[in-house]
């Protein structure tokens, strides 16, 4: 297995390094599916130039990265010069290593949880139980899903700063699954500080720490009080780190202008340049007096599902964390392929649910068709003049639909797997006869 992992890393890095020597990175950096106003490398270069000229990059409407990220990327350019792409190769490699470790921790967690829940399982559901030898293969699947994933490769080649956002989210996953509250909340705070939406991941993190304490202590005394304590602890730590990051940024900029330039930009969506999301086209056609209302309606989609999902998936906090990451990647104001890449890289962790998926073939075809046709319809719209914005929006709407199909299918598969574990595969049918449930 170690040999296969090394092969995945070598092929993935070798392919990225070779493609960096071609003209492809320049083309990818201009693609709206990859580079948004929040993650564009060209805007980062402009922000660094303005900083070096002792001008505030936040005085205009061009730069929307945080002051800490700006300082970090400025340092990268000073150290590596024209070979700055090396840092993107390094971060991509680090993401692959993190995914490997997350898969290992996930396997241990699922086996521990399964052992604790085993008395509640049906005797005839033994074929659904997770086994150590099968979970060990997850490391290969997640590493391959990242290192050989076309979306991950494209994001790396375009030098999208979304790759740093993904790293912070994965670090939050990693430290949460290691049950280390302080590093976990630091990473959650940094991810939220960079892109706002990871704020919702505090809920599954608190649920995980509560569940982990119950599994390790094997006691259910004062369960409600314990859950409240964990929520207060996680939110308290998270708030401390957020205020600290804001204070550092204020000290660096000596103004609060960056807050409106970053978070105001994310929430009010003033830049309606096309992307793979649903905001840009809708608000282009929107009457101005309806804009605030629909901004609220659209933005709340990214966070409103947190409460009902947390209630239903309170016993599966890692799955909840993944689903919330998925939903924010779909409903955020400026989504890109960097959001898709992290979702597909983590997807193999739930390989045991794949047998229950109903739309996997359709979703796969939709992803492939949208990825291929998106640049074609863009060309027909803006260069050939034989199409209009409706054509490009249609393909982005299909892409969003494919993501929604996938996340709803995963939710169904998880609930069905949980139900079959509890009640077994041999259940009474409506006519009272015994029948075996056949996985589709």
Per-residue b or e along 77-87, where b marks 16 or more CB atoms closer than 10 Å to that residue's CB: eeeeeeebbeb
Count other C-beta atoms under 10 Å from residue 270's C-beta. Answer: 10
**Does the structure show a pLDDT above 80 at 430?**
no
Full domain range(s) for residue 316: 2-424
Whether residue 37 lies inside any domain: the answer is: yes
Crossing angle of helices 162-177 and 337-346, in 10° steps, is 30
Q: How much is the pLDDT for 3?
A: 87
Judge contact between 154 and 337, C-beta under 8 A: yes
For the chain, the distance separating the N- and C-terminal CA atoms, rounded to the nearest angstrom, is 30
Whether residue 435 lies inside any domain: the answer is: no
**Does the structure show a pLDDT above 70 at 365?**
yes
Residue count of the chain: 440
Whether residue 92 lies inside any domain: the answer is: yes
Domain count, the chain: 1
Q: How much is the pLDDT for 181?
A: 92
Whether residue 204 lies inside any domain: the answer is: yes
Instruction: In whole angstroms, give the CA distance from residue 66 to residue 239.
Output: 18
Lowest mean pLDDT among 20-29, 212-221, 337-346: 212-221
- C-alpha closest to that of 194 among 332, 374, 11, 369: 332
Going by pLDDT thresholds of 50, 70 and 90, the confidence category of residue 409 is: very high
Instruction: In whole angstroms, give the CA distance from residue 392 to residue 236.
Output: 44
Whether residue 196 lies inside any domain: the answer is: yes
Whether residue 404 lies inside any domain: the answer is: yes
Going by pLDDT thresholds of 50, 70 and 90, the confidence category of residue 123 is: confident
- Determine the average pLDDT of the residues in 165-190: 94
- Determine the average pLDDT of the residues in 22-26: 91
Helix (H) or strand (E) holding 232, with range, is helix 223-253
Q: How much is the pLDDT for 220?
A: 54
- C-alpha closest to that of 17 among 101, 79, 83, 98: 83
Whether residue 432 lies inside any domain: the answer is: no
- Determine the average pLDDT of the residues in 367-377: 93
Going by pLDDT thresholds of 50, 70 and 90, the confidence category of residue 132 is: confident
Q: Could you give the C-alpha distances from 364 to 137, 292, 401, 402, 425, in angstroms and in order?
A: 22, 36, 12, 8, 28
Q: Which residue has the tokens 């709803």?
A: 408
Of 82 and 240, the one with more pLDDT: 240
| HSE-CB of 248 using CA atoms within 13 angstroms | 14
Whether residue 111 lies inside any domain: the answer is: yes
- Structure pTM? 0.93
Q: How much is the pLDDT for 431?
A: 42
| HSE-CB of 367 using CA atoms within 13 angstroms | 17
Of 339 and 224, the one with more pLDDT: 339
Of 141 and 439, the one with more pLDDT: 141
Q: How much is the pLDDT for 388?
A: 85
- Determine the average pLDDT of the residues in 82-98: 93
């Amino acid at each position: 297995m170690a040999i296969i992992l090394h092969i995945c890393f070598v092929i993935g890095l070798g392919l990225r390094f070779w493609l960096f020597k071609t003209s492809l990175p320049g083309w990818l950096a201009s693609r709206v599916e990859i580079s948004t106003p929040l993650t564009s490398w060209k805007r980062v270069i402009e922000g660094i130039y303005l900083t070096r000229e002792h001008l505030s990059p936040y005085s205009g409407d061009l730069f929307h990265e945080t002051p800490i990220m700006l300082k970090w990327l400025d340092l990268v350019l000073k150290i590596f010069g024209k070979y700055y792409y090396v840092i993107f190769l390094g971060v991509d490699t680090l993401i692959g290593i993190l995914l490997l470790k997350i898969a290992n921790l996930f396997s241990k967690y699922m086996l521990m949880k399964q052992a604790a829940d085993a008395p509640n399982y049906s005797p005839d559901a033994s074929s659904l139980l997770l086994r150590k030898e099968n979970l060990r293969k997850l490391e290969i699947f997640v590493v391959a899903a990242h290192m050989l994933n076309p979306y991950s490769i494209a994001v790396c080649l375009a030098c999208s700063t979304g790759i740093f956002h993904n790293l912070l989210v994965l670090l939050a996953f990693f430290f949460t699954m290691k049950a280390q509250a302080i590093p976990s909340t630091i990473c959650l705070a940094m991810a939220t500080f960079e892109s706002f939406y990871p704020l919702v991941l505090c809920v599954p993190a608190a649920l995980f720490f509560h569940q982990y304490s119950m599994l390790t202590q094997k006691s259910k005394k004062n369960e409600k009080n314990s859950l409240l304590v964990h929520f207060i602890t996680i939110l308290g730590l998270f708030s401390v780190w957020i205020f600290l990051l804001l204070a550092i940024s204020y000290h660096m900029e000596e103004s609060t202008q960056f807050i409106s330039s970053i978070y105001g930009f994310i929430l009010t969506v003033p830049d309606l340049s096309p992307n793979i999301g649903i905001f840009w086209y809708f608000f282009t056609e929107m009457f101005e007096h309806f804009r605030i209302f629909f901004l609220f309606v659209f933005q709340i989609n990214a966070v409103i599902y947190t409460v009902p999902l947390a209630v239903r998936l309170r016993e599966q906090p890692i799955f909840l964390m993944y689903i919330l990451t998925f939903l924010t990647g779909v409903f955020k104001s400026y989504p890109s392929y960097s959001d898709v890449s992290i979702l597909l890289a983590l997807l193999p962790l739930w390989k045991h649910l794949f047998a229950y998926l109903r739309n996997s073939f359709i979703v796969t075809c939709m992803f492939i068709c949208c990825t291929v046709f998106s640049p074609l319809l863009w060309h027909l719209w803006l260069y050939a003049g034989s199409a209009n914005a409706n054509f490009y929006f249609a393909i982005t709407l299909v892409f969003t639909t494919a993501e929604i199909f996938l996340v709803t299918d995963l939710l169904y598969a998880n609930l069905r797997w949980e139900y079959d574990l509890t009640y077994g595969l041999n259940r009474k049918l409506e006519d009272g006869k015994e029948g075996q449930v056949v996985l589709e």
